[in-house]
Chain A
Amino acid sequence: MSSPLLHVENLKEYFEIRRGLFGKRGYVKAVDGVSLTLAGREAISIVGESGCGKTTLGKTILRLYEPTDGKIIFRGKDITHLGWKELKWYRRETGLVQQDPFGALPPFMTVKRILEEPLIIHGIKDRKEREERIYKALEGVKLTPIEDFINKYPHMLSGGQQQRLVIARSIILEPKMIVADEPVSMLDASVRIEILKLLQDLQTRYDLSVMYITHDLSTTRYFSERIYIMYAAHIVESAETKELLVNPLHPYTRALLNVIPDPDPSNRFLIKEVPTGEPPNLINPPTGCRFNPRCPNFMKGICDAKEPSLIEASKGHYVKCWLYG
């Protein structure tokens, strides 16, 4: 394998919080030592339940947050602590698709203006060229006929159309990588697949690398090559999509698979465990394995004593669990 597009190593993002006026300082450790690799034209999924730090991970990688620790290497360049000016090329090489399409669009701008903004910011002075690229992007996301959309405001579009516009904006600078943070979770079930297929299509057409963030394992099936399971700011398991879905190792992954609404009735009773209990507090996470209070395979004295390390259980299949270490 050639050198990857993106390499994230032991990334940490802590948010400082203060309880009350003179309260003790604490940290929400939203991302706590995450490592991952994304090759060119590869799609990976980050899967985990609400509040585990997926969004924070994505935003930190995009340098919307200043990383607390760790390293982000993009195309061989360390961008972990670059300043705003030096980051400009990185902004051009990356795109973001957010969860709430309506919120992600400035309500006072027209479709045209929305798509023009990144082009203006990145110094494309020629109006004609900008227009051409806007048309190309709109065609790319199938917001056609373009004339019907170009002068509309976001509130005049349906949710699916809004998300297409957000996607068009994320690819208009022809980036190498986009982070899609739950791009379909706020959409009608009827358009979800459509949007996912669009992303998939764009990925191949634009040679994009995609980091797909979701809490819904079922959607990764259509889409990604590798899955990272995130739990309480840690990556607890990662493997190629097929391997992970067929042979889940971590009890948390298994629990997640269980909650997938599986259309195939023969699979319906395959897995028994259900994740009980609350997601852990990221200010004071459980000692040992962070999943131990909810784990069906909990081993007293081991799981709550020491944090397991990430081991390679089989080729390319990593897991962070005492069952395997």
Chain B
Amino acid sequence: MSTFKQTLRQLLIYKSALIGLIIIIILVGISIYAILAIPYDEATKLWRAGEKYWLESPRNALPSWINIFSSKKMPETIVLDTKKPKPGVSKAIIPVAEKFSNIKVEFSFNYEYDDFPSEINIFFESNHTASVPKLTVYWVKPDGEEIILANLLISKDDRYYISNDEKLARELKNIISKKINKTIDYEAPITLLLFAQEDAGILSPDTVKVMKGNYKLWIDGIIFETNVNLDAKLVVYGKVYGWAGTDHLRRDLGIALLWGAPIALSFGVTASVSIALIQMFIGAVSAWFRGITDNIVQRITEIFMVIPFLPILIMISTFYKFNIWVLLVVVIALTIFGGGVKNYRAMFLQIKEFPYVEASRAYGASNLRIVLYYLIPKVLPTIIPSMVLSVADFVFLEAALAILGLGDPLTPTWGKIIDDAYSNGALYKGLYYWVLEPSVMLAAASLSFAMLGFALDKIFNPKLKEI
């Protein structure tokens, strides 16, 4: 349609509209990508899955691209699994006596980062029946120093949280203190003790350095049954993960950042468009029929206008934890009789007197047809700017509710990330990325619609052109 092209051309004169439009296009692109790459069901499942699913990712990791901008190289996560053989992973089970076997697992990896890992865990999987395998875990530093980390009796599905082993921490501290003849008198985590250069620098957390080079973790053990398979997986958790980092539950923030886009867009656009259309319809019906219909609509509108929207919404969502789509319906239901109805009614009271409406009656148009095809289309273009503008409002509303802890607890949204970050003290802990990433998305989304809306307003209602 040529009027569309015309509007577009006029629109692009405004830089803000251009920027807004570009951001919206990007957001739409992100949304399409999110929907195609991670279907909604999968996304919500991943998001709700909890730590079990995310066992291999670090907690509260920064986004990986931070390494590009920082001279200090932050560690990535290293996963070595006997089930997925590759260089540096070896496993051998050798029968030694009638029923006994000897198991030997060796993991070796290069560690060239400037910071210590965040955690180290070993996960075991064994199919023994009665007798429990007995394992010894050794740690070999690049300088050849070997220490025993633990002696373990493992169950079928077991794990050893090396970095949580306080006894080991004390032992390591003693060993190192003896070696350098000075005591380490701060709470040095195991990850530090296992990876540190054992010199004077280790005495303070500010001067301690990573010993770079080839590390080895090996397991030597005895299995007391025949035909037992035992697998081990070593995870050295890094401090960066993915393009977005992770949260306190090890979840990839990328999922929520990606999926936040289609959810925010569909929430904002659906709310804004359906509220505008329904309000317009109600206003048109009210103006067209007048009389008792008008009276009833006016009174209902007045009631809804004095009901404070946000407090009611907060109250309702405190009592019921909605999923986001129910929330959308509630928001729409609370708004359809809003003040907009009065504005639309006033517009339609004028329009209904237009000769073309009278003409339509003369050739027999029904009331419904007049409302839908003769009254509403006249107003529609003039409200597009405010419709676009209010998308921004509703995107923010959803986020605001989530931040107040009243949103959908299970769906990955930007607001939900901010809520999580806030309730886990992200800013206090210096995890700025956790708050910044969703905030930037949120700001971009609302700002883009606002910029586009204002520009559209200047075109459709030229009287408001800036001075």
A interface residue numbers (CB < 8 A to B): 59, 62, 64, 84, 87-88, 91-92, 94-96, 98-100, 103-109, 117-118, 121-122, 166, 169-170, 173
Contacts and interface: CB of A to CB of B under 8 A. Distances in A.
B362 A62 contact: yes
A103 to B, nearest CB: 4
22 contacts: A64-B361, A84-B366, A87-B364, A88-B364, A91-B364, A95-B362, A95-B363, A98-B358, A99-B355, A103-B354, A103-B355, A104-B355, A104-B359, A108-B381, A109-B377, A117-B373, A118-B363, A121-B364, A121-B366, A121-B369, A169-B363, A173-B363
Contacts of B356: 103-107
Contacts of B358: 59, 64, 96, 98
Contacts of B360: 106, 117
Interface string B341-371: 0000000000000111011111111100100
Interface of B is mostly: helix
A53 to B, nearest CB: 17
Contacts of A166: 359
A173 B356 CA distance: 17
A106 B358 CA distance: 11
A302 to B, nearest CB: 41
Interface in B364-421: 364-366, 369, 373-374, 377-378, 381
Contacts of A170: 363
Top 6 nearest A-B pairs (CB, nearest first) are A91-B364, A96-B362, A103-B355, A118-B363, A104-B355, A106-B356
Interface of A is mostly: loop
Nearest to A94: B362
Nearest to B367: A84
Contacts of B365: 117, 121
A103 B361 CA distance: 14
A91 B363 contact: yes
**Residue picked from A59, A106, A173, most chain B C-beta under 10 Å:** A106
A271 B210 CA distance: 117
B362 A108 contact: no
Interface of B: 354-356, 358-366, 369, 373-374, 377-378, 381
A55 B356 CA distance: 15
Contacts of A91: 362-364
A169 B377 contact: no
Contacts of A106: 356, 360, 374, 377-378
B460 to A, nearest CB: 14
Nearest to A173: B363
Contacts of B355: 98-100, 103-104
Contacts of A109: 377
Contacts of A92: 363-364
Nearest to B374: A106
A170 B359 CA distance: 9
A64 B364 CA distance: 10
A95 B374 CA distance: 18
A30 to B, nearest CB: 15
A206 B6 CA distance: 41
Given A87-B364, A91-B362, A98-B359, 15 more contacts: A62-B362, A64-B361, A91-B364, A96-B363, A99-B355, A103-B355, A106-B356, A106-B378, A107-B356, A117-B365, A118-B363, A118-B364, A121-B363, A121-B366, A122-B364
Nearest to A96: B362
A169 B358 CA distance: 13
Contacts of B364: 87-88, 91-92, 118, 121-122
A95 B365 CA distance: 13
B25 to A, nearest CB: 27
A55 to B, nearest CB: 10
Nearest to A175: B363
B47 to A, nearest CB: 45
Contacts of B354: 103
**Residue picked from B355, B356, B362, most chain A C-beta under 10 Å:** B362
A108 B378 contact: yes
B367 to A, nearest CB: 8
Nearest to A62: B362
B351 to A, nearest CB: 10
A107 B354 CA distance: 11
A272 to B, nearest CB: 38
B363 A108 contact: no
Contacts of A59: 358
Contacts of A107: 356, 378
Nearest to B3: A153
Nearest to B354: A103
Nearest to B363: A118
Contact of B359 (A84, A87, A169, A173): A169
